[in-house]
Amino acid sequence: MRHTTHISTILLVFMLLGVQSLFAQRDEGARVGNVAERDESLQSAGQVTSSDYQYAVGDTVIISKSQDTYLSGEKISDWVYYVRHVIQQVGGKRFPDGVLLAGINSWVKVEGDILLMGAVNKSNTALARQEQDRAQIVERLLELDGFDEEKKEALQASAQQHNMYVMFDAAREQALRDSMAAAERLHAIRLQALRDSLTEVIRERLQQESAMRDSLLSQHAQREQALLDREQALRDSALLAEQALRYSQLTEQALRDSLQSEQAQRDLLLAEKARRDKLEAERARQDSLRAAQAEQARLVSLQASKAKSDSIAACNKPTQFNRLGAGLRGGVASMMQKTLPEANGAWKIGFDVLADVQYAHYWRPKDGVLTIGVLTGLSVGYARGGVTAKGDREFDITDEDKEEVHYTITNANATEQDGSVVIEIPAMLSMIIKDHFFINVGPRFAIPVFSHYSQELTQPSIDYYNKTRGVHVVDQLITGKVDPSMLKQGGATKLSQMNLQLSLEGGYELELPMGHALGIGAYFNYSVFSLYPNDPTGKSLINIGAPSSTEGSETALVTISPITEAFVQRNGLGFFDCGIKLIYHFMKW
């Protein structure tokens, strides 16, 4: 039955394809008939030349291939040929025998160059109208899809040779198009109806086949289930018979086992009583042994506790060690000169570089993270700073002639640079935290062993006024003048004899093999006491003596003093520095 259903379905599909082929053949015959009718109409169409017509504004024309250029001389593009153009003007001042076409706005020749649409025949008006109607049909047929490209090109070549153009009938063309559209719609409706009918038949056949297949599957499943139920019933009956036989055998065995069980229970009771007696004796022996072991353990525990206490006490004793290291440090520094108010002075930042050798002794508890010790050593280096001042001063003196003289000494600016070779001895508290971080704090004694200075003056001036005589001179040798060679000077000087500084250092140490360590950190030192026994009273940056009246020595004596010596107060030299420190600990014992 399944094969029969498939065959019927295939036959229906072939029927559908045959009907569709018949409709296609009918449509092709109709199209061929239409083509033949169009050919006959084309053969009966007359030819009319453009020389038989007169032109008017509004007429429609096309340009033939015989014309290559416009009247103005420009070349005609290919897209202009055989395209409808409307006459905008007939004749003109420049081209009296031409026509102006709208859209392209160009002049073309009249005779033999354009094909007319809708013009009036001068010789026979009735014949022209008839020819126009016939030509109109041919033109409309050309616009349909009945002719192939070769026929269209042949017709265009013929029109070009005879300088003609054909008119068309819009009503007939529209009727023909409507009839063809109606036939196509009818064909489509019939074809869709046939397709729907065949689809419905196929759907019904498929439903019948599916129902039959489901029925056969249901019957097969019922037969298989019946066979399975019968097989299960046979298995259940065989199992019941086997269980009955086994139960009878178990009943006989149970009687024998019951007797043996009673005997075994009596034996177990006797064995249990003997075991209990033995356990009682063993328990008594174990209790006595356990008591002896507990006493021994208590004694051992007391001894261990005492030993542990002794060990803890020993461990809590601090571990002592020594360490020797060498390093280098450097940064910014200044001597912090404190000048007299009238000097208008200010100290300047310099630098210092020192080499350190240090020794430290530490105590470290074994159960702690902080190691404490004392640190000392010796540092040798160079420190440099500076100071600026104006040094303006006014004073009165009496010269050898008992005349009163008033001096005014001015200076735009004076700059002094001071340097010292120093020795420093620290005595500080040192701490190491977690074997890596170090902090050193405490006093540091700095002793300059050699000091020097360099100084430069800018625009010094000495104003002399003799009150007795009323004489006023400026920068004269007889009254006092700073020689240019005196503007720059330098040499050894005496600075602070000793500085007591408060020092702070901190940083990080990296442990190395064999107990060595490399540390990097920062330092800061500030002078809290300076021993500088200077007395600036009566001193000046520019010192001058009154001119002498002795013949041959009519020159005032002018001397220049260092700014520090002239303006820094007693104990007015301080010191501070800060920078980076590197230290390498190469010995530990």
At 63, the amino acid letter reads: I
| Mean pLDDT, residues 37-63 taken together | 54
The residue that leads in pLDDT, 559 or 353, is: 353
In this prediction, residue 162 has a pLDDT band, given cuts at 50, 70 and 90, of: very low
308: Cβ–Cβ under 8 A, 6 or more apart, which residues? none
Q: Which two tokens stand for residue 1?
A: 């039955």
At 193, the pLDDT band (50, 70, 90 cuts) reads confident
Residue 44 has pLDDT above 70, yes or no: no
388 burial (CB, 10 Å; 0-12 / 13-18 / 19+) is middle
pLDDT exceeds cutoff 50 at 346: yes
> Tokens 């060498």 — which residue?
326
DSSP 273-309: HHHHHHHHHHHHHHHHHHHHHHHHHHHHHHHHHHHHH
Instruction: Supply 550's token pair.
Output: 């002795």
Q: Which of 143-152, 330-339, 539-548 has the lowest mean pLDDT?
A: 143-152
Task: Reduce the DSSP state of residue 344 to 3 states and report it.
Answer: coil
- Label residue 331 by pLDDT band (50, 70, 90): very high
Average pLDDT in the chain = 77
424: which 2 tokens? Answer: 């420093």
CA gap 356, 329 in Å, rounded: 8
Question: Are the CB atoms for 361 and 431 separated by under 8 Å?
Answer: no
pLDDT-derived band at 318 (thresholds 50, 70, 90) equals low
Backbone angles phi, psi at 507, to 5 degrees: 180, -160
SS3 352: strand
pLDDT of 496 strictly over 50: yes
The total of other beta-carbon atoms located within 10 Å of residue 501's CB is 22
Nearest partner of 368 among 434, 320, 311, judged by Cα: 434
Give the residue, 395 or 106, on which the prediction is more confident. Answer: 106
Candidate from 18-32, 100-114, 522-536 with smallest mean pLDDT: 18-32
Give me the mean pLDDT over the 432-459 stretch: 92
**2: pLDDT confidence band, cut at 50, 70 and 90?**
very low
CA–CA dist 261, 446 (Å, integer): 109
pLDDT value, residue 521: 96
Residue 23 clears pLDDT 50, i.e. is over it: no
For residue 253, the model assigns a pLDDT of 76
Q: How confident is the model at residue 332, as a pLDDT? A: 96
The closest of 503, 327, 370, 355 to 427, measured between CA atoms, is: 503
Q: How far apart are CA 334 and CA 387, in angstroms?
A: 9
- What three-state secondary structure class fits 338? coil
Q: How far apart, in Å, are the Cα atoms of 136 and each of 59, 131, 171, 394?
A: 15, 8, 10, 130
Q: For the residues 377-385, what does the mean pLDDT come to?
A: 95
Residue 43's pLDDT is 34
pLDDT surpasses 50 at 477: yes
Phi, psi (rounded to 5 degrees) for 398:
-115, 120
Q: Which residues pair with 396 in a beta bridge?
A: 406
pLDDT at residue 537 tops 80: no
Q: Does pLDDT of 4 surpass 70? A: no
The 3-state DSSP class for residue 481 equals coil
Listed residue (530, 562, 584) closest to 422, CA to CA: 530
d(CA 40, CA 28): 19
* Structure tokens belonging to residue 520: 């990097």
H or E element: which one contains 32?
helix 2-44
pTM metric for this prediction: 0.46
**In this model, does residue 17 exceed pLDDT 60?**
no
Q: What is the pLDDT of residues 278-316, one digit of tens each?
A: 888 888 888 888 888 888 888 888 888 877 766 655 555
What residues contact residue 524 under an 8 Å CB cut-off, 6+ apart? 503, 504, 505, 576, 577, 578
The domains of the chain are located at 319-588
Confidence of residue 94 (pLDDT cuts 50, 70, 90): confident
Question: H or E stretch including 267?
Answer: helix 170-315
H helices present in 372-475, as ranges: none
The answer to whether the CB of 387 falls within 8 A of the CB of 563 is yes
User: What is the CB neighbour count within 10 angstroms for residue 508?
Assistant: 11
Whether 416 contacts 562, CB under 8 Å: yes
